Amino acid sequence: MLRLGRREFGPHEPVIMAIVNRTPDSFYDRGATFRDEPALARVERAVAEGAAIIDIGGVKAGPGEEVTAEEEARRTVGFVAEVRRRFPDVIISVDTWRAEVGEAVCAAGADLLNDAWGGVDPGLAEVAARYGAGLVCTHAGGAQPRTRPHRVTYDDVMADILEVTLGLAERAVALGVPRESVLIDPGHDFGKNTRHSLEATRRLDEMVATGWPVLVSLSNKDFVGESLDRPVKERLIGTLATTAVSAWLGAQVYRVHEVAETRQVLDMVASIAGHRVPAVARRGLA
């Protein structure tokens, strides 16, 4: 059982996490939700389309202008509080690697801390424990925040992913983070080249077999773009194909830009797998 905020999810229940970037320079939407009203409209639309989690980020993942902890908090804390006021039942996640930001957003109502940089600040897990918040434990290959991989190598990329994420997850539980609120993430593109991310996808069932719920952040990423030689705005089909494979292999949470399309893919895979009945069943019965 996965428990986040007020919600519980069964082992075969796929969960959509919608991305809301509070940055002026995000790689995908180029600041479309930097201002409050467009960002709140994005939350409303994502919830209507089937997102259970809203993932709020105040710093883009890639290199760029420095964003201090104070500025990151300014972009996220008040917005978390407003989302909590308007959408009391939605699960609020914040994408941050900084403990001081985690502290501020949890105090404002966040349910989940999405640590995409692999525990680079050990204090973030301690914050999650103090507030009873969930934690995403991600493999980033030892990369520092906001850096791109350069000639990174692994003897066995999935073995490294498992060692790191399971270690982070067990540490979080030992600190007091509720076990049912800890997720592991292979960290597609983080500290990896395209072949590493493809192999991590191909072997995702090895992560699922650990028993920890698996989160994947695939949406429009470079490994999709390089696999198909497509720019950022032409990666949806590749993203959805990767989503279908990940769902078949047992991933549970999907961090996405396109909620409605992802919902259809996950529902279709769940129906094929026998975990969901068809929405209608008329064929051959009339």
Helix (H, G, I), strand (E, B) or coil at 15: strand
Catalytic option among 22, 42, 60, 255: 255
Neighbours of 53 (CB within 10 A): 26
Residue ranges of E strands in 122-185 = 134-138, 182-185
Q: Which two tokens stand for residue 18?
A: 């919608």
Element (H, E) at 149: none
Query: What span, in angstroms and rounded, lies between the C-alpha atoms of 211 and 242?
Result: 21
Task: To the nearest 10°, report the CA torsion of 35, 40, 41, 44.
Answer: 160
Residue 219 CA: distances (Å) to CA of 28, 124, 165: 9, 25, 21
Q: Active site includes 221?
A: yes
Catalytic option among 221, 230, 276, 283: 221
Q: Active site includes 22?
A: no
> What is the set of active-site residues?
221, 255
